[in-house]
Amino acid sequence: MKTSESRITQIVAHVFCGLIALCAILPFLLLIISSFTSESWATEHGYSFFPQKFSLEAYKYIAVQWDTIGKAYLMTLIVTFAGTVVSVSITALFAYGISQNHIPGMKVVNFLMIFTMLFNGGLVATYYMYVHYLDFKDTIWALLIPNLLMNAFNVILVKNYMSYSIPGALKEAATIDGASEFKIFARIIMPLSLPIIATIGLMTGLAYWNDWQNGLYYLSGRDGASLYTIQIILNNINENIQVLLQNASQAQAIGANVAELPSTTIRMAIATIGILPILVLYPFFQRYFVKGITLGGVKE
């Protein structure tokens, strides 16, 4: 039976966790409500959980400009999917390699990886290399490779998981049975590493989905504009709302005054559309996320 002290502790813990969860949920709720708020009311009174006037004007502008925004949304999905799959694959292979301490040279490779977490060439040198040597300017590779494709922290999480959460006897038994190294990796290591793989997959996917800096650095001109993602579009709108009115006649087609843009609420509407896939997918990855971080981040 629970003592009164344990019940009080449990109640306090639940209340505290509830408040933390509320602090995480309220900004999303405010974002969604603000996207349906009238532009004139939001400009005069600011954002509110209980606006006096609701409006679909911001979403009408998105519908009018869907050629631009829809293409950016599709590009975001492509970049996120491709980048996440490739990044997780490289991370898992790299982590499995350096987890084999009996192989000569793996400690040196491990040291070099950790060294890159502490020191790097800086933004100028990185930009110069990607633009002038690798020619990533205005190409889709600029959205996939710089800063996102390989993360040493993710490699360490996966390495620790493979080293300390998967019994070595399983690999030894498979080796005795004649399984190749790749077969051991594909049939034993990867299935048992699902929690940590799902964890780094979620973190990598979020990084790709929310990235706008690569577009800012490496995309420009007509060729670069065709590769804009939804976050880059949103960033451009924050800097200049007129980016959505390159064709003023389209805005007038819905009966809106071009001079009276929903500049305040349209940012919220695009951000709302941008976060929907993350809100939908996160609950399916949550249990793997917690387990993967716990087991991959602690060395037994």
Tokens standing for 111?
Answer: 């040291």
- Determine the pLDDT at residue 92: 92
CATH number of the domain that residue 100 is part of = 1.10.3720.10
CB 32 within 8 A of CB 272: yes
Full residue range of the structural domain in which residue 249 is found:
60-297
Assess if residue 14 is contained within a domain.
no
Ramachandran class of 48: left when φ > 0, alpha when ψ lies in -120 to 50, beta otherwise: beta
Q: How far is CA 141 from CA 76, 93, 150, 194, in A?
A: 13, 21, 14, 28
Assess if residue 23 is contained within a domain.
no
Assess if residue 22 is contained within a domain.
no
Tens of pLDDT along 60-100? 877 877 887 888 888 998 999 999 999 999 999 999 888 88
DSSP of 64-110: HTHHHHHHHHHHHHHHHHHHHHHHHHHHHHHHHHHT-TTSTTHHHHH
Assess if residue 214 is contained within a domain.
yes
Q: How many domains does the chain have?
A: 1
- Determine the pLDDT at residue 1: 54
- Determine the pLDDT at residue 235: 76
Name the stretches of the chain with pLDDT < 50. Answer: 247-249, 251, 253-260, 296-300
- Determine the pLDDT at residue 249: 46
Assess if residue 142 is contained within a domain.
yes
Assess if residue 34 is contained within a domain.
no
Task: Give the three-class secondary structure for 174.
Answer: helix
Ramachandran class of 137: left when φ > 0, alpha when ψ lies in -120 to 50, beta otherwise: beta
Assess if residue 43 is contained within a domain.
no
Tens of pLDDT along 213-259? 888 888 886 767 788 888 888 777 766 655 555 544 454 544 444 44
Assess if residue 38 is contained within a domain.
no
Q: How far is CA 22 from CA 16, 128, 150, 206, in A?
A: 10, 44, 33, 21
